[in-house]
Structure 1
Amino acid sequence: MLVHARALLVGTAEGRTAYIDGDLHDPAAVIAEAGKTLDFAQPIGLILSGVMGHVPDYEAARSITRQLVAALPSGSYLSLNDGTSLISAEMQQAQDDYNDSGATPYTLRSPDEIAGFFDGLELVEPGVVPCPQWRPDDAVDTPADIDAFGGVGRKR
C-alpha cells in the first residue's frame, strides 16, 4: 500500500495526494490527518473497500463508519464494499482458512449488514448489490454474482 501511495504522492495539477499511516479504530486521528490535505468545506468521497471486515464486531465497524461519515460535509459520498458468503459456500471455508493462517482476521458480513453501513445516507441506485452489478461493463467478462457486496451513499 505504501509503495502505491508513494507513486501517487508525486502529485498532479489536478490535486494533491497524501498517505495516512493510521488506525481505522481511531477515526478521529484519521480525520485530523486527512484534514491536512482535504478541504472539509467541499464534498469528499470516502472509500472503504474490503476493510470493514477487519473490524470483527459489527457495531464497532458501524460506529467507525458513522464517525468518519459524520466528519464529512453535506454532498459527500461513501463507497463501501465487503465480503459475504451468500453466493459461494466455498467463501466461508476460504475465510476460515485465511483466519487460521495467522493473518489479520476478516469477518464476512451479510448483504443486510453491509447495507447497514449506509444508514442515514441516500443510497445511489442500484443500492447494495454484488459489486459487478454496480455499473456493469458489458465488455468485461465478470460474473454477475460474487461474494463482495457494496454500494454508494450520499450524505444529505
Structure 2
Amino acid sequence: MTEIDTSKPHPARMYDWYLGGKDNYPVDEELGRQMLALDPRVPVMAKVNRAFMQRATRWLAGGGVRQFLDIGTGIPTEPNLHQVAQSVAPDARVVYCDNDPIVLAHAAALLRSAPEGITEYIQADVRDPATILEGARKILDFSQPVALSLVALLHFISDEDGAHDLVGRLLAELPSGSYLMMTHATSDFTPEASAVATARLKAGGVTLALRSREEFTRFFDGLELVDPGVEVVHKWHPELGEPVPGQDDGVIPGYGAVARKP
C-alpha cells in the first residue's frame, strides 16, 4: 500500500475531521480549523453533502439503478453509499474510488457488502479516469445503467486539470440511462470569505476551485436534469432524508444535482 503522507493535509482527512472522525492528522486539523474560523458552517456543509449523497442514492436505487461508481469516496462514515443503496436494493453493486491510501486502509474492514450485492474499492485519482474505468469494469456491467457519484469532489479539481473533460470522459463510457449525481462548493454567496479560504488552502497545498451556479451546471451539459434541477444542496429533495443537525434555512454555499444520460 502507498505510504500515507502525514506532512500535508488531504481533503478526505479534513472531511473526516469536519464530520467528527478520528482518521486524520494534526496537519488536517490545523487547516480545518482555519477553514472553520472563516465559516463556522463548514462541518455542517460536510454533513449536508453526506446527506445529499444518501438522498440521491435512495432516489436512484428506488428508481431501479443497481450500479454505482463513487469517486472521491472519502473515509468510510456510516451510512455509506453501498449501505443506502443495498437497503433499497440488496443486489446493488458499488465501486468506490479515492486517491488517499488511508481510505484504502479502512475500506477493506468497513465497506462490507450485503450478501446479494458487491462492494469493491479502487485506489486511483479522478485525474486518471482510464485506471478508474478499467477497475470499475471488473465489477460493474457497463451495458447497464451506472450512477456516477462525484460528491464534494470537483471543487478540488481546477480547470487547468480539466475538470469538465474528466467528467465527460467518465460519462462517455457509461450507457444510456446512467446518471450523474454531484455536489460542488461555490463562492456565489460568500465571495470574500471564499477568496480567503481558497488562498489558505492553496498555501496548505490543497486546490480549491469554487465554481458559480452556471459553471457547475456546465457539468450536466447533454444530460437530462432530474427535478428540481440544480439546487442549493440541502434543498434537493429534502423529503428523502432527515434534516442535518445545525442546518437552518440559511444558504449553504454549495449546489447539488442529479441528471440522466439520454
Counterparts of 2:203 and 2:157 in 1: how far apart (Å)? Answer: 16
Correspondent of 2:194 among 91, 94, 97: 91
CA distance in 2, matches of 1:48, 1:133: 18
What is aligned with 1:31? Answer: 133
Root-mean-square deviation (CA), in Å? Answer: 1.9
Higher helix share: 2
- CA deviations over 1:112-149 (Å, ceiling 9, x no partner): 11100000000011111110110124962623421111
Q: 1:126 aligns with which of 228, 245, 249?
A: 228
Confirm or deny that 1:155 pairs with 2:261: yes
The 5-angstrom pairing of residues 2-151 of structure 1 reads 2=103, 3-6=105-108, 7-8=110-111, 10-57=112-159, 60-89=162-191, 90-102=193-205, 104-137=206-239, 140=243, 142-144=247-249, 145-151=251-257
* 1:132–1:143 Cα contact (<8 Å) kept: no
**Cα 1:136–1:13 shift into 2, 3 Å:** same
Structure 2 length normalisation: TM-score? 0.55
| Preserved CA contact (<8 Å) 2:127 2:161 | no
**What TM-score do you get using the length of structure 1 for normalisation?**
0.89
CA apart distance, 1:15: 1.1
List structure 1 runs of 4+ shifted beyond 3 angstroms.
none
Q: Secondary structure at the match of 1:47?
A: strand
Supply the distance in 2 between the matched residues of 1:47 and 1:129 (Cα, whole angstroms): 16
Question: Structure 1 residues 46 and 139 mapped into 2: Cα distance closer, same or farther (>3 Å)?
Answer: closer
- For residues 236 and 256 of structure 2, the distance between their equivalents in structure 1, rounded to whole angstroms, comes to 8
Tell me if the contact between 2:142 and 2:174 (Cα under 8 Å) persists in the aligned partners.
yes
The structure showing larger relative contact order (alpha-carbon pairs under 8 Å, at least 6 residues apart) is 1
Stretch of structure 1 that moved more, 84-93 or 104-113: 84-93
Letter in 2 for 1:143: D
Q: Is the 8 A contact 1:54 1:107 kept in 2?
A: yes
Count residues with an aligned counterpart.
Answer: 154
In 1, Cα distance between equivalents of 2:174 and 2:260:
10
Residue identity over aligned pairs, in percent, reads 38
Distance across 2 between alignment mates of 1:12 and 1:41: 23
1:143–1:92 distance in 2 versus 1, CA, 3 Å: farther
